[in-house]
Structure 1
Amino acid sequence: VNVALPTLVRDLNTDFATIQWVVLSYLLTMTTLMLSIGRLGDMIGKKSIFNAGFVVFTVGSVLCGLSPTVHWLIAFRVLQAVGAAMTLALGAAIVTEAFPGQERGRALGLIGTIVSLGIIVGPTLGGVLIEYLSWHWIFFVNLPVGIVGTLMAWRFVPDFKPKGRQRFDYLGAATLCISLLSLLLALTWGQQVGFTAPNILLLFGVWLACLIAFLIIETRTKQPMIDLRIFKNILFSVNLVTGFTTFVSIAGVFILLPFYLEDVLGYNTQQVGFLLAVIPIGLGTFAPIAGALSDRFGTRPITVLGLVILFGGYIGLTGLSTETTTWSYVLRLLPIGIGMGIFQSPNNSAVMGTVPRERLGVASGLLSITRTLGQTVGIAILGALWASRVMANAGEFLPGGATTAPPAAQVAGLHDTFIAITVLIFLGLLLSVWGLMKERSLQSQMTVPQTNM
């Protein structure tokens, strides 16, 4: 959809401030619903919700393609996002239920490869459809995909029914949704008006108040949305936090490098798309390999290896300059894709392997939220950091913003931002190493033979 935004502005007679909600409405809806959907999957079974998600997504896609105005398009994108949330929130849980522990990493790695292929093919196919047909077809193309997906899910997804009847935590779900929505809106609008603007501070206040209310509700409810005791599992929490740091950092890469490639190095839009594909190519290639290795040697050593490679990759990106060649850029960026591929599927496998079966849907939802929330935080915070450092290095007021700064100032801002990202990944690496040591300590305690008293 991102490649179609300029076309949508022209064809729907709107402006950028409005058209960005075609993307934002989708992201906000998915993030706020994922955990509730994961909980419903644990309560009533995952297959029916997963299948319904394909149907809702497909119908929403067709309606998006038929939208006569931008406001109808935004509304139908919300419907499309509901369907996407119903499938994405339960994907990891379904894989965990369907595959034994010794095959889980490989299965999750293959999913990572498929997602990476979508990231590579999506923008290219979207550009072709817009060029030779119209923007409507970037949505209509989902119709055959949705039909095939629905039939395959109905045929192959196992139908594990939960035992007993459970009650849905409506109050907890409501406070969580309001909390997440307030945070996402604050991060999104804060980029435009400043994070200290009164409205933004109010949104942050609503987020914090609802988060506190949610935590109180969860501790007092017999059947909570999230059983907070799962966070007492230190290794589970470590995996979620380290995963969050990687998604924050990768969001900075995808939001900043297009400006560098186009404004500083002079590549055109199509070339930028190919150069950014280095990351999903590396991720898609190494994700199943890392998954298989984690099945054999354990998840935590492989996640540490992935973070080490990521750390080295971000150090390399601090050296980008106005004279960087294509091959130098590719060699600097490739470790980011490889590191993400090696880290992600074992990390997901570790998260899913540390919760009981009746909480797999919630765990899968938490994984999805760390991804989307991490990306949103990364875009907001790292984008603001880059812009401020560019303006500082330019040494003058730029009415057109940071993107109009001289190339040298943009590169200096990029350097400072990637230093911050490198520090963030290093902290994630330290946390992951501590988790590895903690895991081995627990394993050694369990294997120490009992002595007679």
Structure 2
Amino acid sequence: MASSTCARGTDIKEGHPRDAKWRVLAAVSTGAFLASLDSSIVNISLPTLVRVFDAGFVRVQWVVLAYMVTVVSLILPLGRIGDILGKKNIYLGGFIVFTAGSALCGTGASLSGLIAFRVIQGVGASMIMALGFAIVTEAFPAQERGRAIGILSALCAAAIALGPVLGGVCIEALSWPWIFRVNVPLGIIGCAMVHGYVPGDTVKKGESFGGSGAVSLSAALVFLFVGITWGQVHGYTPLTALAVGVGFVFSSAVFITSENRAVQPLIDVSLFSDRQFTLNLVTGFIAFVAYAGMVLLLPFYLEEVAGYPTRRAGLLMAVVPVSLGVMSPLSGALSDRFGSRLVTTAGLCVSLGAYFAASSLDGGTSVPGLVARLVALGAGMGLFMSPNNSAIMGSVARDRLGIASGLLTAARTLGQAMGAAGVGAFWAFRVSVYSGRTPAVSSADICGFHDTFMGLFFLTAGGIVVGLLGCAPHRGTSDAPARQGAQR
């Protein structure tokens, strides 16, 4: 009954104008756009920062990693805090913190200061990213939710595509601090939009927030993430591996113990009793592991194997998020009409074909052939992502939307991190194997790409199998009420 209540109660409060839900979407989209833009605009500045601060890449890369580690560590705790203290309060606070962090990053401080300010930015981005889907889900009725989430996903994809282009313009025409300063005016406008357009929600008195669970979960994720990145850069010594492993296991054990003892745990385990919620979450994680791994390797293929200059490689890379952004709103509307299961499966099948086609890439692949593969990759994720997100958010009760939104974002972020680390390591391993068989470096690279992209093909096939385990039919995001009606 909780899900039915949720589906019936998703409209904006009575008394608001008819277009209030679209104003909410506009306000939330501004935050999602900024957070997504900042996840991609900084990458292109790394070579410049190496020269400006006269530092090695190993240290400069923490300008990116500090942001990512902060986001992935805080997503789940902030989802729970949003359920308790009110989603609007946390979302607006995130806007303020993110804008302040952007202004601090734009001061052009030392490298250590920039990394510290990126942590502040990451805290604000976590508050924004943890609750965006939840606020939109509450604002829109079930029959329109897929379209709204599709628009939100499209804007995020557009921001990711715009990031490298805008970053390059800022660095060449102005200076590197402007890649952060551009956030400030948009952040101020966004704060005003959230304050004026997003309706307030009830603060839950008497509910507690498990601080020990939040800290231990964040610590476990930090140990995992730092362990992966440290191993890639420095390699593992027995002592390092032991320290990271013990830290991760200990933090995880503390988290599990805290959650078992908590009256109101950070993660509502009952959410996973819903088959559709669990399977869609796992499928989304698998899809993002494969997608992130592919996106990580594409620049190496374009520049080192195909021989494209960096600027042209960047333009070709933009084909993927543009294709994803174009397809996302369409997939949301299709899921509202035909159901999420059919559309998500179709998206994964398109991705499956894209990975298989990518396994045949070599140094002589034509530009049209390359673009066709990149369009398919983006279109597949665009078809999959919005309906899958909508199905996840539509299967939980209203008072658990915050933590569900946090779980959704955490699954996506962890998938991206694991894809970047795991797929990159697999490709490097295969290249090292082939390097002993052929003297040509490019040939070893190509063979490594072939093996890796076929690995992504099989990983995505596994995702399709997991998704099809949810045999119950879906109708957009009103799945839970439909299932209950069928049971009655």
TM-score (norm 2): 0.87
**Distance across 2 between alignment mates of 1:197 and 1:259:** 31
Whether the 8 Å contact between 1:169 and 1:224 is mirrored in structure 2 is yes
**Distance across 2 between alignment mates of 1:436 and 1:106:** 24
Whether the 8 Å contact between 1:31 and 1:372 is mirrored in structure 2 is yes
Out of 121, 124, 127, which is 1:86 matched to?
127
**Distance across 2 between alignment mates of 1:267 and 1:333:** 15
Match of 1:252 in 2: 293
Out of 102, 105, 109, which is 1:68 matched to?
109
Matched, 1:44 2:85: yes
Deviation at 1:432, TM superposition (A): 0.7
**Distance across 2 between alignment mates of 1:201 and 1:307:** 38
Out of 415, 418, 423, which is 1:382 matched to?
423
Deviation at 1:148, TM superposition (A): 1.2
- The count of aligned residue pairs is 443
Out of 228, 241, 264, which is 1:187 matched to?
228
**Distance across 2 between alignment mates of 1:267 and 1:393:** 23
In the superposition, relative to structure 1, how do residues 150 and 339 fare at CA in structure 2: closer, same or farther (>3 Å)? same
- What amino acid is aligned across from residue 356 of structure 1 in structure 2? A
Whether the 8 Å contact between 1:235 and 1:439 is mirrored in structure 2 is no
Deviation at 1:201, TM superposition (A): 3.9
In the superposition, relative to structure 1, how do residues 101 and 444 fare at CA in structure 2: closer, same or farther (>3 Å)? closer
Match of 2:372 in 1: 331
Match of 1:235 in 2: 276
1:104-123 to structure 2, matched below 5 A, reads 104-123=145-164
Matched, 1:141 2:176: no
Match of 1:151 in 2: 192
Deviation at 1:208, TM superposition (A): 2.8
Match of 1:8 in 2: 49
**Distance across 2 between alignment mates of 1:99 and 1:165:** 28
**Distance across 1 between alignment mates of 2:102 and 2:170:** 15
- What amino acid is aligned across from residue 107 of structure 2 in structure 1? L
Matched, 1:225 2:260: no
Match of 1:279 in 2: 320
Structure 1 residues 211-231: Cα deviation after superposition (integer angstroms, max 9, x where no partner): 233223212211111111211
**Distance across 1 between alignment mates of 2:276 and 2:344:** 12
Comparing 262-271 with 294-303, which one deviates more in the overlay? 294-303
Whether the 8 Å contact between 2:438 and 2:444 is mirrored in structure 1 is no
**Distance across 1 between alignment mates of 2:272 and 2:130:** 19
**Distance across 2 between alignment mates of 1:172 and 1:282:** 39
Out of 10, 17, 20, which is 2:61 matched to?
20
Out of 251, 254, 267, which is 1:210 matched to?
251
Match of 1:424 in 2: 459
1:365-404 to structure 2, matched below 5 A, reads 365-395=406-436
Structure 1 residues 283-309: Cα deviation after superposition (integer angstroms, max 9, x where no partner): 111101111111122222211111111
**Distance across 2 between alignment mates of 1:39 and 1:115:** 23
Matched, 1:406 2:463: no
**Distance across 2 between alignment mates of 1:272 and 1:444:** 47
Comparing 47-56 with 437-446, which one deviates more in the overlay? 437-446
**Distance across 2 between alignment mates of 1:271 and 1:316:** 21
Partner SS state of residue 435, structure 1: coil
**Distance across 2 between alignment mates of 1:34 and 1:237:** 18
Whether the 8 Å contact between 1:43 and 1:165 is mirrored in structure 2 is no
Match of 2:18 in 1: none
**Distance across 1 between alignment mates of 2:317 and 2:166:** 15
Structure 1 residues 305-346: Cα deviation after superposition (integer angstroms, max 9, x where no partner): 111111111111111112111111111121110011111011
Whether the 8 Å contact between 2:58 and 2:233 is mirrored in structure 1 is no
Structure 1 residues 177-223: Cα deviation after superposition (integer angstroms, max 9, x where no partner): 11111111111112123457431343133223322332232122111
Deviation at 1:241, TM superposition (A): 0.6
**Distance across 2 between alignment mates of 1:437 and 1:358:** 24
Whether the 8 Å contact between 2:98 and 2:125 is mirrored in structure 1 is yes
- Percent identity, please: 47
Match of 2:12 in 1: none
In the superposition, relative to structure 1, how do residues 126 and 243 fare at CA in structure 2: closer, same or farther (>3 Å)? same
Structure 1 residues 121-176: Cα deviation after superposition (integer angstroms, max 9, x where no partner): 11111101100110011111111111111111111112121444311101111111
Structure 1 residues 342-396: Cα deviation after superposition (integer angstroms, max 9, x where no partner): 1101111111111111111111111111111111111111111101111111117
Out of 301, 321, 344, which is 2:362 matched to?
321
In the superposition, relative to structure 1, how do residues 447 and 143 fare at CA in structure 2: closer, same or farther (>3 Å)? closer
Match of 1:97 in 2: 138
Whether the 8 Å contact between 1:306 and 1:340 is mirrored in structure 2 is yes
Matched, 1:342 2:383: yes
Out of 382, 391, 394, which is 1:353 matched to?
394
**Is there any run of 5+ residues in structure 1 with no aligned partner, and where?**
399-404
Whether the 8 Å contact between 1:306 and 1:341 is mirrored in structure 2 is yes
TM-score (norm 1): 0.94
1:122-133 to structure 2, matched below 5 A, reads 122-133=163-174
Whether the 8 Å contact between 1:219 and 1:228 is mirrored in structure 2 is no
Matched, 1:447 2:482: no
Partner SS state of residue 320, structure 1: coil
Matched, 1:436 2:475: no
Whether the 8 Å contact between 1:262 and 1:269 is mirrored in structure 2 is yes
